[in-house]
Amino acid sequence: MGELAALVTSLLWTFTSIFFTLAGRRVTSSVVNRVRLALAVLYLSLAHLIVTGQLWPLDAGPSRWLWLGLSGIVGLVLGDAALFQAYVQIGPRRTQLVMTSAPVIASVGAWLLWNERLTPAQVAAMAVVIGGIAWVVSEPRPATGEHRFPGDSDHRTYRLGLLLALGGALGQAGGLLLAKQGLGGGFAPLSATMIRMLAATAAIWLLAGAQGRVRSTWQRLQDRRALLLIASGALVGPFLGVWMSMVAVQRAPLGIASTLMALTPILLIPISAWIFRERVTGRAVAGTAVALLGVTLLFLL
């Protein structure tokens, strides 16, 4: 169940990266980050009310609020702020290449914190998955194309984009490690997602208020196409995607779950070919086959 939830998460995050890349180009990545969290709280509150009879998980103890709240701030505020800006500067495909380091970071953290060990065969299967992904998305980007990113022509912007993507990977891994701690004892993944999202939303809007950016954020939403893109991305990402990621983290070893959730760049290939007019090469097809082989091995081991 955990492995399947991780695969679903990858699929959902694939569409999220496209929605937020397009929205970030229109209204900036910081506006996207603030608004998508507010919308996700709305979606999650309604789902939590339907499933549990409560808008928020009021019966959760202080320890869960602490760990899951920190997880939300680290993963959904700090990590995703870096991630969304990387999308805008170097594009979703290159950003996701750097994000493939998140499973390794998470696995090392789980080993250090909880002595969570993987068998040599599982480590090998994870290496196959990550290797296949890296092989695909490290392929040089063609010079032509309808859509270009700032990092394509400016080396400084490109390097900054890579650093931002690494920050996204660190944030994702750190958020998952903190969430794993808060999910102990069979705590409901939906309630955990609600707590993470509430903490992240409160933190990011308090920061916006301190910087005097609340009004300007709402003014940006006069762009109705951007608002539609953010609302769609919030539905499939911070709502459904993060919910499924909590199921995966709770029910599968963190290293395996985070590796399967790193399949997003593979799934991005056909969508990027359609939306961003990127050419699908033989290398992309071969790398996809390698990554899928690794996924199959993880399910069988």
Q: What average pLDDT does the segment 73-85 reach?
A: 92
pLDDT in tens, 116-171: 777 888 788 888 878 877 787 676 655 555 456 787 777 888 889 889 999 999 99
Distance, CA of 233 to CA of 212 (rounded, Å): 25
pLDDT band for position 299 (cuts 50, 70, 90)? low
Distance, CA of 256 to CA of 176 (rounded, Å): 12
Side-chain half-sphere exposure of 204, counting CA atoms within 13 A: 29
Distance, CA of 52 to CA of 37 (rounded, Å): 21
Say if residue 215's pLDDT is above 80: yes
Residues 174-202 as b or e (16 or more Cβ within 10 Å = b): bbbbbbbbbbeeebbbbbbbbbbbbbbbb
First to last CA, the chain: 14
What is the rounded average pLDDT for all residues in the chain? 85
Q: Which residues touch 80 (CB under 8 Å, ≥6 apart)?
A: 33, 168, 171
pLDDT in tens, 166-207: 999 999 999 999 998 898 888 999 999 999 999 999 999 999
Contact 250, 92 (CB under 8 A): no
109 or 46, greater pLDDT: 46
93 or 204, greater pLDDT: 204
Domain with 247, as residue range(s), is 2-300
Inter-axis angle of helices 2-27 and 242-251, nearest 10: 150
pLDDT band for position 218 (cuts 50, 70, 90)? confident
Q: What average pLDDT does the segment 80-98 reach?
A: 84
Contact 106, 6 (CB under 8 A): no
Q: What average pLDDT does the segment 208-213 reach?
A: 92
245: closest CA among 128, 74, 75, 59? Answer: 75
| Structural domains counted in the chain | 1
Inter-axis angle of helices 242-251 and 155-182, nearest 10: 60
Q: Which helix (H) or strand (E) holds 173?
A: helix 155-182
Distance, CA of 52 to CA of 63 (rounded, Å): 20
Write down the pLDDT at residue 279: 66
pLDDT band for position 9 (cuts 50, 70, 90)? very high
Burial of 155 (0-12, 13-18, 19+ CB in 10 A): exposed
Residue listed under structure tokens 């969290």? 37
Write down the pLDDT at residue 171: 95
Share of the chain above pLDDT 70, in %: 93
Write down the pLDDT at residue 123: 83
Contact 275, 267 (CB under 8 A): no
Write down the pLDDT at residue 168: 94
Write down the pLDDT at residue 19: 93
Distance, CA of 53 to CA of 47 (rounded, Å): 9
Distance, CA of 134 to CA of 113 (rounded, Å): 27
